[in-house]
Amino acid sequence: MVLTTLAFVALWSELPAWRLGGAVSRTAVTVGLDPPGSLCPVGFDRIELRGDSLVIGARMGGKGSPYGAVLAQELGGGVEVLLRGRGGATAADGEAMWRQASTDSDIVLLAYGTNDAATRGWLTGKRPVALRQFRESLLRHIRQARASGAQVGLIAPPPVGTRAMAERLQPYRLVVARLGREEGVPVFDPAEAFAGCRKREPLLSRDALHLNAAGHACLGGWLARELCR
């Protein structure tokens, strides 16, 4: 009986709040870090958005645009946003892809952490990346981008749709915030965007992890305002 109860509790914490069109995101303690406006692009600047499947708009069901594309549209002025994402990528995976490459982008935004946290936990059997390793990979990303002359910003992993996933993810969100503070790098937290878009829920796809079209539209518009606030 006890084992059955424990199994039920564990399973319950993994269940999303499904709605028509996807899953509702859980409220997260925000970890954003100013200064605002420090990365506002000018004229025909190029922004490079590095990350995982969230960056490329995976599992949107063919509707809407990834938040990076929304960002470019909102900024206008010929600003180009390059979507450098790969499904399943951790910070170390991204580092391996870009270690030998210099960038000619004016701004580099780093959006990792969801896969590092192995957010789905026992549902997929993946093991999380150690927090120290996650931090060190992000730090090398920052230094590599700065060495190429780019300004750098961090995007914290977005909120997810279950309590269990949120608990796995929050330590990685905090690492991003601390690193931003230590390196003087602005941290943009999608949790702040989602807080202002509650009337548009659901903002996640049915897997409670990827953003749906409404989530991407919300985040892209908010990020454009934050960059140039």
Question: What's the pLDDT score for residue 38?
Answer: 73
Residue 2 CB coordination number (10 Å): 6
Check if the beta carbon of residue 53 is closer than 8 Å to that of residue 210: yes
Question: What's the pLDDT score for residue 6?
Answer: 39
For residue 204, pLDDT over 90 is answered with yes
Distance CA 160, CA 23 (A): 9
Percent of the chain at pLDDT > 70 equals: 92
Distance CA 173, CA 175 (A): 5
Question: What's the pLDDT score for residue 4?
Answer: 47
Task: Write the pLDDT tens digit of every residue in 40-85.
Answer: 998 889 999 999 999 999 988 778 999 999 999 999 989 999 999 9
Distance CA 189, CA 157 (A): 7
Question: What's the pLDDT score for residue 2?
Answer: 40
Question: What's the pLDDT score for residue 133?
Answer: 98
User: Amino acid identity of 178?
Assistant: R
Question: What's the pLDDT score for residue 8?
Answer: 40
Closest to 47 (Cα-Cα) out of 28, 24, 72: 72
Tell me if the domain spanning 29-227 has CATH number 3.40.50.1110: yes
User: Amino acid identity of 127?
Assistant: R
Q: What is the pTM of this model?
A: 0.93
Task: Write the pLDDT tens digit of every residue in 83-101.
Answer: 999 999 999 999 988 766 6
Task: Write the pLDDT tens digit of every residue in 159-177.
Answer: 999 999 999 999 999 999 9
Question: What's the pLDDT score for residue 37?
Answer: 59
How many angstroms separate the Cα of 142 from the Cα of each of 3, 91, 95, 176, 179?
46, 11, 10, 12, 10
